[in-house]
Amino acid sequence: MLWSQPIGWTSRRHPGTHGGKMRSFLPPVAEQVFRDIQKTYEETTQIPDDLLIALKFVFGPCALQALDLVDQRSVTCLSSPSGREAFQVMGGSGRLYTCFVSCHYCPCPAFAYTVLRRNEGLLCKHILAVYLCQAMGVTQQESVSDQQMSTLLCGSADADA
């Protein structure tokens, strides 16, 4: 089984303060998986079986859910005139989750329960989707005003969604 980019997708890498890159706070094995995905995907626009298995092994069931989000082009890198950036991920229910560029945080219930409360997972499917989109170069890009960025960062927009 290969996981490949649907026809019509445009790979875009984004300039900005962090270059649209989430800073990694992952164990070396996870970082290696993303490096391998990036390298392989750049060459073949596909993710081979062994890397999919590695992804599932490291991240558990949320790996497939994250791939679904990548498939649906759910990850957008937002940037404002001040240079501030954040990631916005559209969940399966249509709700938008704002994730930070420099550290792991997602307002979704899975992050609160599995990662923060039970300490059983490295991250949620939304943050994993951000990492995958970066590795594959399929992050969408959108500009917002500084005020809109502030609203998103403080979570008011998430609460209203």
Partner 1 sequence: MAEFLTLVFRTFMSESGLKKTTTPGPPPPTAAGSTLLVGHRGTSRSVLLLAAVTAASELGTRLCRPDNSTHLNYFLCLQKIVFSYPRTVEELLQQVARLHESTNTTPPALIVVDGLEDFLCAPGRHPGEQSRAAHLSALLCDTATFFTQVLKQRSSSSAPCRILASFYSDTDPGQADGEASATDAMLNVLDRYFQVRCTLDQDRGYEAAAAGLQELWHVYLSGRGVTDDKLGGSQEWQLLVFPNGSVEFKLV
Residues that bind partner 1 (CB under 8 A): 17-18, 23, 80, 82-84, 86, 100-105, 107, 111-112, 116-117, 119, 146-147, 149-151, 153-156
Q: How near is the Cβ of 86 to partner 1 at its closest, in Å?
A: 8
Query: Of 9 and 100, which has the nearer Cβ to partner 1?
Result: 100
Query: Of 47 and 86, which has the nearer Cβ to partner 1?
Result: 86
Tell me, what DSSP letter sits at residue 4? E
Q: How near is the Cβ of 65 to partner 1 at its closest, in Å?
A: 20
Query: Of 25 and 57, which has the nearer Cβ to partner 1?
Result: 25
R_g (Cα) of the chain, nearest Å: 15
Query: Of 47 and 149, which has the nearer Cβ to partner 1?
Result: 149
Measuring CA to CA, how many Å separate 11 from each of 18, 65, 108, 117, 152? 18, 21, 27, 36, 25
85 φ, ψ to 5°? -130, 155
Please check whether residue 151 is in contact with residue 97, taking contact to mean a CB–CB distance below 8 angstroms: no
